[in-house]
Every structure is written in structure tokens, then in C-alpha cells.
Amino acid sequence: MAGQPVKRSFAGATLDNLGARYLGVRSETCSYTTQPVQIPLRDGVELAADFYAPELLDNQASAGLIMVQCCYGRGAGITFLNARLFAARGFQALFVSTRGTDGSGGTFDPHSNEQSDSQDIVAWMRQQPWYPGSFATLGPSYLGYSQWALLHNPPADCIAAVIPVGPHDQAWHTWGTGSFRLDRASWSDLMSRREDERGSFLSRLSNIPGLSFLRPSGRLEKAVAGLPLEASLQKYFGDKAPWIFDYLKHPNVDDAYWESRRHHVSLDRVKIPILLVSGWYDTFTTQTMHQFKHLHNRGVNVSLIVGPWTHVQGSGLHSTPEIMDFLAEHLTKTGKYNYPPVRIFITGSQEWRSMPTWPPATQPKALYLQEDSGIGSKQPVQDAKPASFVFDPLYPTPSIGGNQMASGGRVDDGAYAERSDVLAFTSEPFSEDLEVLGIPSVHLTHASDPPFADLFVRLSEVDAQGVSHNITEVYQALDPSRDTSQPLQLNLQDCAHRFRVGTRVRLIVAGGSFPMYARSLGTAENRVRSEKTAPQRHTVTIAGGVSRLVLPISAAA
């Protein structure tokens, strides 16, 4: 079933042109119409969608078809970047609302139905008179996840994909560190109140570049801070967002519950050209970098762009011209994507760098933790005193910037060095530039009392004025039965940073990052169901250089 095509309005054209000019996209080649359609699925559910058709001359062919699946409505903000810009340049676009959202039938159960539903959408497309015989997929974040779900069983006529800031494994994001990722609560809050007293969900999405509505409300902040966490969230959500309580019940990423929400097999099956876009401060950077490395090692035609961006900034706001060129090449074979396989932004030197792959060749450089809160190339003496701090779950160490969904990014994180529940190891100023490209690692001979504890480790730069800014980080819930006589290795997230002459390395070690992650309670009880807490004393051995930071240094530096 389909409605009548509607021509783009003057206001819509004005918005499209102003937005395109801001993004640096080439000029429009045509106008377009929008037609509402209903897509039947095998179980009788119908999905609501809009079909964007370029208004072309009789002898012109479209530039190709783009398919988008989205759970955030079909309002102006989200469709501008993922449909309208392309329709005004000759592309067809089918923009489909996920099951249970914005007019689509069925029940919204995040990440569980996309694999099956996407195959039905493709089968329906093939029966339409406007279908050109092949298509590409597009969309960031959840829209990117939907692409990985489709590529679990890649359709032969899907010939390219653009996936900015898109995860392929929801278990990895939710419980991959061993602690519950609390942005699942703020995201679930957003999805559970698509219509509320502040206006329609679609109208709030019209300003999606700001994504301010992803920041938790005061009530939700209190709920997330409550103990037990599960009971506190139950009181807040009531019968809304039932999926979040399924998440809480399944902390094991290998549990059968997560099977339909994990698509590592897609990385083994996909053969089409793929463009990946990420930011050093994105929520899903680790997954995007894993995707690139896996596909590149398989010989897949995969390209990667990584900027100094947060999740929202990496969603296409700063890479639309490249996305347009990529789709033009692979849908129309015009050869317009003339970029190297990898383009990354080097923080510190504030420059873009082109590379044939990632990571490039590097050499390890060890910097040893010192007993005077220093860090440097000289190994400490054998009788160097250990460093320690106490993490109190009732007053948890705060999250400051980094890879948070809505309030992350590069920030002044100097407040960490002033806290008694944080160790901050700072080097002397560098006498020459030092370029770090790849995955730094931290080797800590570490113990905690009690043994139920987490570690948050961050690499930062202290500039010549003494201001500290974050570069990369890692979070890990520790195995209480681990052998604490052996160094614990933690791999931080990929980064690309040049320490200039006069700057210093700072390594931050803490026992939590709240409200980014559910805090360790310090007991053997379930961290989301217990209200019992115990402060945890962390001790890091310094003597003999057993605790160190290893930096991958550019071989060309």
C-alpha cells in the first residue's frame, strides 16, 4: 500500500540547500518527491516508510537506490542527512521505520528483529517498479547496527554500505567491560517516551545534531545513582522500556539472549565495499576499529575515516561529501571516491593523515610508573614504594569527557589529578615530539582489597600551560580470582596523537567512571541487584618497573 507522492515544498528546499551548504556538499541536481509506503513482513506486521524519488528528465536514470532503517522516526533532522540530501542529487532513497516505531507495526524490541526484518524489506523492494536492480545501505549508530544485521546474510544485490559510528555487537557495548554500560538507561529513556509532554518525538528529533535529549534528566540521574540499580530503574521506568531489564539479567555476553543482537558473522561474510566513519571520542570507536581491521585483513574493499569527533559529530555531520562520493562511485560507477583507504585525524598536531591501513608500523616505548607520581623511561628501584587509593562506591569517581554518548569528547580532565580516589602519573616535559599511533597498553601489578573491583585507565596530555586533556581510555571489571602477582594488561582504545615538545604524558588510574559504567560495589553480590557496598583499596606495585605504560610510537617519527 502506498500514498501519493508529494513534491518537496519551498521551505523544504530552502532547508535542504542551507544544510548542504553548511556541510560542504556539492550543488543539487534535481528536486524530489516523498511517498509514504507500507512494507509487509512475513509475520503480518507492516513497516511504515517513505520513498524519496528524484525528479529527473525522461532520459535520465537515478544515481542508485539507498536503503535506510531507522528507529528514531522519519522527521526532518534524521532524514536530511540520510535521505533528502541524496534525493536532491539524483539518488532514490527508501527510509524505513524500525518495527514498533513511528507508525510501523509490531513491538519495538531493540536490536532483536533487524536481521529478519531487513531481509523482508529487501524482498519487498525487489518487487517494486522503481527498483533499479541493486542498492546500497546508509545510516549511523542504530541505523548502522541495522546494516550489520542485514549483512548477517548479505543480499547479492546489496553492493555497498556506509556505516558511521555503527556497532555490530550490542552485548559487547552493554556488558563487554564486565560492567553495565549506563548509557543504555538514557537511550532507553529516550526510546520509551517517544511522545511526552514536551512535544512529539519527531519534533524533538528535528534538532538531532545537538542530541541534547540523550542527556539524562534529573530524575533519571537519581534513578541511575540509586541502589539496588535494577530496582531503582524499575521504579523509574515502570512498564516502559522492558528491554533494559533483559539487558540487566544477561551480563554474560555469550548468553543465548544476545545471539540475535551480535553480528560478528557479518564481518566474515560481507564482500562489498564499505565505508566506516568514526571519531576518537565516539561511543563505538572500539567496534568500528575492530570492523576495519577484520575486513581489511580479509581483503575486503573497506575505507576508514576517523576524526576528532564525538558520537554525534561522527554520524556524518563532518563526512557527508566523502559519503556522497563513495555512494556515487559504487552505485553509478563514476569513480568519484578518490581517497586513500584510511584517513585519520592526528590530535595534538591537529592534522589529517592518509594511510594505506591502520594501524601503521610502530615501535613500542615503555614508560614506567614512578613512586613520586611520575612516569618515565627510567625503571624504578626495587624498593620503590607502591601507590594506592580507595574507591568508595557511595561517592564514585566521576566520568569526565571521553567516550560518553552525549557529554563526552576532548575535555579538561585536570580534576582527576586533584582527587584522592585517583592516581595520576605525570611525566617530565618531552624534549622532542612523540607520535602515538595505535593501541597503547598498560601493564599493572595491581591488587585490591576486597578483590571485587574495577579499573578505569586513561591516557591524557598535559600541555605547556599545565592543562590536561584526555586522549584514550579503557574500563574493565576485574576477575576477583585473578593472580595479583602477575601484571594485569589492559589495552586502551585506538588513538592517534602527537605529543609536542614541552607537553607531558599523564596516566590516570581510578576504580570507576560513573555514570558511564555501573560502579563496582566491592562485594561478591550482583552489582545491579545489591545495595551492599564496600570501599575498595587499590594498590599498584611500582618497584622494579613492573607497572608501565607501553606506547605504540610511529616508526616514521
d(CA 450, CA 60): 71
Residue 208 clears pLDDT 50, i.e. is over it: no
396-425 per-position pLDDT tens digit: 999 999 999 888 999 999 999 999 999 999
Residue 200 clears pLDDT 80, i.e. is over it: no
Cβ(147)–Cβ(117) below 8 Å: no
Residue at 389: amino acid letter: F
Q: What does the mean pLDDT of the chain come to?
A: 94
Sign of CA dihedral 207, 109, 103, 185: negative
DSSP conformational letter for 544: G
Q: Which residue bears the cell 586513561?
A: 458
Nearest to 211 by CA among 311, 299, 121, 113: 311
| Widest CA span in the chain | 84
d(CA 220, CA 184): 12
344-361 per-position pLDDT tens digit: 999 999 999 999 999 999
Please report the pLDDT score of residue 387 as a whole number: 97
CA 271 to chain centre: 23
pLDDT-derived band at 287 (thresholds 50, 70, 90) equals very high
Residue 202 clears pLDDT 90, i.e. is over it: no
Contacts of 158 (CB under 8 A, 6+ apart): 122, 134, 135, 136, 137, 150, 151, 272
In degrees and rounded to multiples of 5, residue 176 shows phi and psi of -65, -25
Q: Report in angstroms the alpha-carbon separations of 78 from 150, 227, 271, 392, 443.
A: 20, 36, 28, 41, 43
Cβ(82)–Cβ(316) below 8 Å: yes
DSSP calls for 485-520: TSPEEEE---EEEEE-TT-EEEEEEES--BTTBPPP
pLDDT-derived band at 556 (thresholds 50, 70, 90) equals low
What the chain holds in terms of domains, given with CATH numbers, is 6-180+262-355 (3.40.50.1820), 211-250 (no CATH), 362-554 (2.60.120.260)
3-30 per-position pLDDT tens digit: 899 999 999 999 999 999 999 999 999 9
Q: Which percentage of the chain shows pLDDT scores above 90?
A: 90
d(CA 287, CA 379): 35
In degrees and rounded to multiples of 5, residue 190 shows phi and psi of -55, -50
Residue spans of alpha helices (H) in 337-452: none
211-229 per-position pLDDT tens digit: 444 556 789 999 999 999 9
432-485 per-position pLDDT tens digit: 999 999 999 999 999 999 999 999 999 999 999 999 999 999 999 999 999 999
Half-sphere exposure of 324 (CA within 13 A, CB side): 22
pLDDT-derived band at 199 (thresholds 50, 70, 90) equals very low
DSSP calls for 386-416: PEEEEE-TTSPPBP-SBS-SSS-BS-B-GGG
Please report the pLDDT score of residue 205 as a whole number: 40
Contacts of 12 (CB under 8 A, 6+ apart): 76, 84
Please report the pLDDT score of residue 58 as a whole number: 81
Cell (9 digits) for 154: 548479505
Predicted TM-score of the model (pTM)? 0.95
88-106 per-position pLDDT tens digit: 999 999 999 999 999 999 9
